[in-house]
Structure 1
Amino acid sequence: MTWRWEYVPDEETVAAGAPPSFLVEVEKKADELVRAAEALYLHGPGWQAADEGAKHAFVAGGFFVYMITPRSELVSIWQITPDPHA
Protein backbone atom coordinates (compact mmCIF):
# COMPACT_ATOMS: atom_id res chain seq x y z
CA MET A 1 0.00 0.00 0.00
CA THR A 2 0.98 3.57 -0.35
CA TRP A 3 -0.38 6.66 1.34
CA ARG A 4 -2.87 8.74 -0.62
CA TRP A 5 -5.77 11.12 -0.17
CA GLU A 6 -9.21 11.08 -1.74
CA TYR A 7 -12.60 12.71 -1.57
CA VAL A 8 -15.20 10.51 0.11
CA PRO A 9 -17.60 9.49 -1.32
CA ASP A 10 -16.14 11.11 -4.48
CA GLU A 11 -14.84 14.42 -5.82
CA GLU A 12 -18.03 15.27 -7.68
CA THR A 13 -20.11 15.02 -4.50
CA VAL A 14 -17.68 16.71 -2.09
CA ALA A 15 -16.29 19.47 -4.33
CA ALA A 16 -19.38 20.36 -6.34
CA GLY A 17 -19.57 24.10 -6.92
CA ALA A 18 -16.35 24.98 -5.08
CA PRO A 19 -14.14 27.62 -6.69
CA PRO A 20 -11.18 26.08 -8.55
CA SER A 21 -8.66 28.24 -6.66
CA PHE A 22 -10.02 26.93 -3.35
CA LEU A 23 -9.78 23.33 -4.56
CA VAL A 24 -6.12 23.91 -5.44
CA GLU A 25 -5.50 24.97 -1.83
CA VAL A 26 -7.43 21.98 -0.46
CA GLU A 27 -5.43 19.58 -2.61
CA LYS A 28 -2.09 21.17 -1.64
CA LYS A 29 -2.97 20.79 2.02
CA ALA A 30 -4.16 17.22 1.45
CA ASP A 31 -0.75 16.42 -0.08
CA GLU A 32 0.91 17.86 3.05
CA LEU A 33 -1.33 15.78 5.30
CA VAL A 34 -0.42 12.63 3.38
CA ARG A 35 3.31 13.33 3.80
CA ALA A 36 2.85 14.00 7.52
CA ALA A 37 0.74 10.87 8.05
CA GLU A 38 3.25 8.76 6.16
CA ALA A 39 6.01 9.95 8.52
CA LEU A 40 3.89 9.60 11.67
CA TYR A 41 2.35 6.20 10.93
CA LEU A 42 5.38 4.31 9.61
CA HIS A 43 3.60 0.95 9.83
CA GLY A 44 0.13 2.15 8.84
CA PRO A 45 -1.46 -1.18 7.88
CA GLY A 46 -0.39 -2.60 11.24
CA TRP A 47 -1.96 0.27 13.21
CA GLN A 48 -3.91 -1.15 16.16
CA ALA A 49 -5.21 1.94 17.96
CA ALA A 50 -8.41 3.80 17.15
CA ASP A 51 -8.34 6.41 14.41
CA GLU A 52 -8.14 9.99 15.63
CA GLY A 53 -11.50 10.97 14.17
CA ALA A 54 -12.49 13.92 12.05
CA LYS A 55 -10.35 17.06 11.96
CA HIS A 56 -10.53 20.44 10.28
CA ALA A 57 -7.87 21.98 8.05
CA PHE A 58 -7.97 25.67 7.25
CA VAL A 59 -6.65 26.91 3.91
CA ALA A 60 -6.88 30.12 1.92
CA GLY A 61 -10.52 30.47 0.95
CA GLY A 62 -12.13 28.19 3.55
CA PHE A 63 -11.65 24.87 5.32
CA PHE A 64 -12.25 21.16 4.94
CA VAL A 65 -13.02 18.15 7.14
CA TYR A 66 -10.77 15.12 6.87
CA MET A 67 -9.79 11.93 8.66
CA ILE A 68 -6.58 9.93 8.68
CA THR A 69 -7.03 6.15 8.58
CA PRO A 70 -3.59 4.59 9.13
CA ARG A 71 -4.69 0.99 8.42
CA SER A 72 -5.79 2.05 4.93
CA GLU A 73 -2.97 4.59 4.51
CA LEU A 74 -5.64 7.08 3.58
CA VAL A 75 -6.47 10.72 4.22
CA SER A 76 -10.16 11.08 3.37
CA ILE A 77 -11.75 14.46 2.72
CA TRP A 78 -15.42 14.40 3.62
CA GLN A 79 -16.53 18.01 3.35
CA ILE A 80 -15.16 21.24 1.95
CA THR A 81 -16.48 24.65 2.92
CA PRO A 82 -15.43 27.66 0.85
CA ASP A 83 -15.52 31.02 2.61
CA PRO A 84 -18.39 32.94 0.98
CA HIS A 85 -16.50 36.18 1.56
CA ALA A 86 -13.24 35.09 -0.06
Structure 2
Amino acid sequence: MSWAWECALGAEEAARTPPPAPPAFIAEVDHKAAELVRAAEAQYVHGRAPAELDPTGSDITVRGGMFIYRIVVRSERVNTLQTTYPGF
Protein backbone atom coordinates (compact mmCIF):
# COMPACT_ATOMS: atom_id res chain seq x y z
CA MET A 1 0.00 0.00 0.00
CA SER A 2 1.23 3.51 -0.63
CA TRP A 3 0.13 6.85 0.71
CA ALA A 4 -2.66 8.70 -1.09
CA TRP A 5 -5.47 11.12 -0.35
CA GLU A 6 -9.16 10.65 -0.89
CA CYS A 7 -12.42 12.40 -0.27
CA ALA A 8 -14.17 10.78 2.69
CA LEU A 9 -17.67 12.00 1.90
CA GLY A 10 -20.44 9.45 1.99
CA ALA A 11 -22.92 9.01 -0.85
CA GLU A 12 -25.66 10.82 1.09
CA GLU A 13 -23.45 13.84 1.71
CA ALA A 14 -22.33 13.95 -1.92
CA ALA A 15 -25.96 13.89 -3.06
CA ARG A 16 -26.71 17.03 -1.01
CA THR A 17 -23.64 18.88 -2.30
CA PRO A 18 -24.34 21.90 -4.53
CA PRO A 19 -22.81 22.14 -8.02
CA PRO A 20 -19.07 21.49 -8.14
CA ALA A 21 -16.53 24.16 -7.30
CA PRO A 22 -14.48 25.80 -10.07
CA PRO A 23 -11.48 23.88 -11.43
CA ALA A 24 -9.00 26.42 -10.00
CA PHE A 25 -10.25 25.76 -6.47
CA ILE A 26 -10.19 21.98 -6.99
CA ALA A 27 -6.60 22.27 -8.25
CA GLU A 28 -5.63 24.19 -5.08
CA VAL A 29 -7.15 21.46 -2.89
CA ASP A 30 -5.42 18.74 -4.97
CA HIS A 31 -2.06 20.48 -4.63
CA LYS A 32 -2.32 21.01 -0.87
CA ALA A 33 -3.62 17.47 -0.24
CA ALA A 34 -0.67 16.09 -2.22
CA GLU A 35 1.68 18.08 0.04
CA LEU A 36 -0.02 16.58 3.09
CA VAL A 37 0.43 13.08 1.63
CA ARG A 38 4.16 13.64 1.10
CA ALA A 39 4.56 15.00 4.63
CA ALA A 40 2.64 12.10 6.20
CA GLU A 41 4.59 9.56 4.15
CA ALA A 42 7.87 11.03 5.38
CA GLN A 43 6.74 11.25 9.00
CA TYR A 44 5.22 7.77 9.20
CA VAL A 45 7.73 5.93 7.00
CA HIS A 46 7.93 3.12 9.58
CA GLY A 47 4.22 3.07 10.35
CA ARG A 48 3.16 3.60 13.92
CA ALA A 49 3.32 1.70 17.17
CA PRO A 50 0.12 -0.27 17.89
CA ALA A 51 -0.68 1.86 20.97
CA GLU A 52 -0.47 5.16 19.09
CA LEU A 53 -3.59 6.93 17.93
CA ASP A 54 -3.89 8.53 14.52
CA PRO A 55 -2.86 12.18 14.52
CA THR A 56 -5.54 14.82 14.83
CA GLY A 57 -6.64 16.45 11.60
CA SER A 58 -6.98 20.13 10.99
CA ASP A 59 -8.23 22.63 8.47
CA ILE A 60 -6.25 24.18 5.65
CA THR A 61 -7.03 27.43 3.91
CA VAL A 62 -6.43 27.49 0.17
CA ARG A 63 -7.10 30.19 -2.39
CA GLY A 64 -10.87 30.37 -2.72
CA GLY A 65 -11.88 28.37 0.35
CA MET A 66 -10.72 25.69 2.78
CA PHE A 67 -10.85 21.99 3.58
CA ILE A 68 -10.76 19.81 6.69
CA TYR A 69 -8.60 16.70 6.69
CA ARG A 70 -7.44 13.85 8.89
CA ILE A 71 -4.54 11.42 8.58
CA VAL A 72 -5.22 7.69 8.93
CA VAL A 73 -1.83 6.02 9.33
CA ARG A 74 -3.01 2.39 9.28
CA SER A 75 -4.67 2.98 5.89
CA GLU A 76 -1.90 5.28 4.63
CA ARG A 77 -4.50 7.88 3.71
CA VAL A 78 -5.12 11.58 4.08
CA ASN A 79 -8.90 11.97 4.06
CA THR A 80 -10.56 15.25 3.18
CA LEU A 81 -13.66 15.41 5.35
CA GLN A 82 -15.19 18.68 4.24
CA THR A 83 -14.41 21.13 1.46
CA THR A 84 -15.77 24.65 1.73
CA TYR A 85 -16.00 26.96 -1.25
CA PRO A 86 -17.88 30.19 -0.37
CA GLY A 87 -19.15 30.63 -3.93
CA PHE A 88 -21.63 27.73 -3.54
TM-score by shorter chain over 0.5: yes
Q: Structure 2: 5+ residue runs without aligned partners? A: none
Is 1:6 the equivalent of 2:6?
yes
Pairing 1:71-82 to 2, within 5 Å after superposition? 71-82=74-85
Partner of 1:38: 41
Q: Select the structure of larger CA radius of gyration.
A: 2
Aligned position for 2:32 = 29
Classify 1:19/1:51 alpha carbon distance in 2 versus 1 (closer, same or farther; 3 Å).
Answer: same
Change (3 A) 1:73 1:40: same
Larger displacement relative to structure 2 (12-21 or 25-34): 12-21
Match of 2:22 in 1: 19
Cα displacement (A) at 1:47: 4.1
Alignment size in residue pairs: 83
Question: Would you say the 8 A contact 1:30–1:75 is kept in 2?
Answer: yes
Structure 1, unmatched stretches of 5+, are none
Q: CA deviation at 1:62?
A: 0.8
Q: Cα deviation per residue 1:27-73 (whole Å; 9 max; x = unaligned)?
A: 000100000000000122x4431112231011111110000011110
Conserved 8 A contact 2:4-2:78: yes
Where 1:22 maps in the other structure, the secondary structure is helix
Q: Calculate the TM-score normalised by the size of structure 2.
A: 0.80
Give aligned-pair identity as a percent.
Answer: 45
